[in-house]
Amino acid sequence: DNTMVLYGSNLGNASSHSWKNLPLLLAGGGFRHGQHLAHDPENNTEFANLFVQMAQTMGVETETFGSSSRTGIDGLELA
């Protein structure tokens, strides 16, 4: 699979304009399908970590993106 689609919002809670606990949908890209990943909202995972993992999956040689703290998202694996 050579297509990735990322859909989401820039607000986790619209009434408080919170950027924590963002709902996202990621499809394709050779990732293992049929899973739901939930992370602890009190211990946020950097959104930029997902961008690093997506870029690496597309063949981009990078270890960081913006405020990333590591190179991936726990539980998000290639098929």
- The pLDDT tens digits of the residues spanning 28-74 come to 888 888 888 887 777 778 888 999 999 999 999 999 999 898 888 88
Q: Is residue 70 part of a domain?
A: yes
Distance of alpha carbon 39 from alpha carbon 8, whole angstroms? 15
Scan for tokens 């699979």, then name that residue: 1
Q: What are the angstrom distances between the C-alpha of 28 and each of 25, 40, 51, 54, 78? A: 10, 24, 14, 11, 10
Q: Which amino acid is located at 77 in the chain?
A: E
- What is the number of structural domains in the chain? 1
Within-domain flag for 4: no
pLDDT 10s digits, 10-29: 777 777 777 777 888 999 88
Domain housing 68? 28-35+44-79
Q: Cα torsion for 42, 47, 52, 54, to the nearest 10°?
A: 110
